[in-house]
Amino acid sequence: MQELPLQLVTQMIADRRTIHKRPELGWTEFETTYFIAKRLEKLQIEFQLGGDFLDRASVHGRDEQEVQTAIQRALEHGVPKTFIKKTQGYTGVAGIFDTGRPGPTIAIRADIDAVPVQESQDEAHESVMGGYCSEIPMVMHSCGHDAHTAILLAVAEWIVENQDNLCGKFKFVFQPSEEGVRGGLAVANGGFLDDADVLLCFHIGTKCKLGEVGIC
Ligand SMILES: [Zn+2]
């Protein structure tokens, strides 16, 4: 088993902390979507944004007022207006990378939304000590989707770097609004995954020890 390069691990930790600082509730993940899109662009991975790959008729639990408030916050935090326009008001990113060699289409999915929880401000709290505590009151990545997003970005980078040893196509789904089981149907019915031979999903948890992976 090849070890991950240290640079990729370091970046994954930094990405997770950046995302942790700016948590966004389901259907309002505009800053997170921008962060992901910028990285995929840098990796030269083709991608679509929520407005293009989600089936809007299958979008549930999306509050237009919450969306507008989030767009405003994203604009104030440096997300360009042109980018917001490209999302058409729908968050999430779907990337595709073709190795150019025949083989299966492997899709990997991570969720990107946070939950309505106030993060502890205790000075002994890990993210307070590390300087990456949530900046958004009453919103926190307490379900770990910040880690999922960072992991999938690292996987995408690893695939690009190791493309000469790989075959087939890879699809990367950064799914909005997992909480409340709201976003999955819109992704599924949007058709982006229809040609996938395999769909891999994952969630971090506390039942495995460091270095272990549980499969179900
Ligand atoms: Zn979760």
The position carrying tokens 């237009």 is: 64
Judge whether 15 lies within some domain.
Answer: yes
Judge whether 14 lies within some domain.
Answer: yes
Report in angstroms the alpha-carbon separations of 99 from 106, 151, 164: 12, 20, 8
For ligand 1, the distance from its centroid to the CA atom of residue 29, given in whole angstroms, is 15
Judge whether 214 lies within some domain.
Answer: no
Domain count, the chain: 1
Residue 211 is predicted with a pLDDT of 83
Asked if the model's pLDDT at residue 1 lies above 60, the reply is no
For ligand 1, the distance from its centroid to the CA atom of residue 102, given in whole angstroms, is 34
Say which amino acid occupies 74: A
Report in angstroms the alpha-carbon separations of 131 from 77, 115, 121, 122, 125: 18, 20, 11, 12, 10
For ligand 1, the distance from its centroid to the CA atom of residue 24, given in whole angstroms, is 13
Q: Residue 159: which CATH number?
A: 3.40.630.10
67-90 tens-digit pLDDT: 999 999 999 999 999 999 999 999
For ligand 1, the distance from its centroid to the CA atom of residue 83, given in whole angstroms, is 27
Judge whether 209 lies within some domain.
Answer: no
158-206 tens-digit pLDDT: 999 999 999 999 999 999 999 988 999 999 999 999 999 999 999 998 8
Judge whether 208 lies within some domain.
Answer: no
Judge whether 24 lies within some domain.
Answer: yes
For ligand 1, the distance from its centroid to the CA atom of residue 44, given in whole angstroms, is 28
For ligand 1, the distance from its centroid to the CA atom of residue 202, given in whole angstroms, is 9
Judge whether 62 lies within some domain.
Answer: yes
Q: Which of 104, 97, 110 has the alpha carbon at shortest distance from 16? A: 110
Judge whether 215 lies within some domain.
Answer: no
For ligand 1, the distance from its centroid to the CA atom of residue 164, given in whole angstroms, is 33
For ligand 1, the distance from its centroid to the CA atom of residue 90, given in whole angstroms, is 20
For ligand 1, the distance from its centroid to the CA atom of residue 205, given in whole angstroms, is 9
Residue 108 is predicted with a pLDDT of 98
Domain range for 23: 8-201
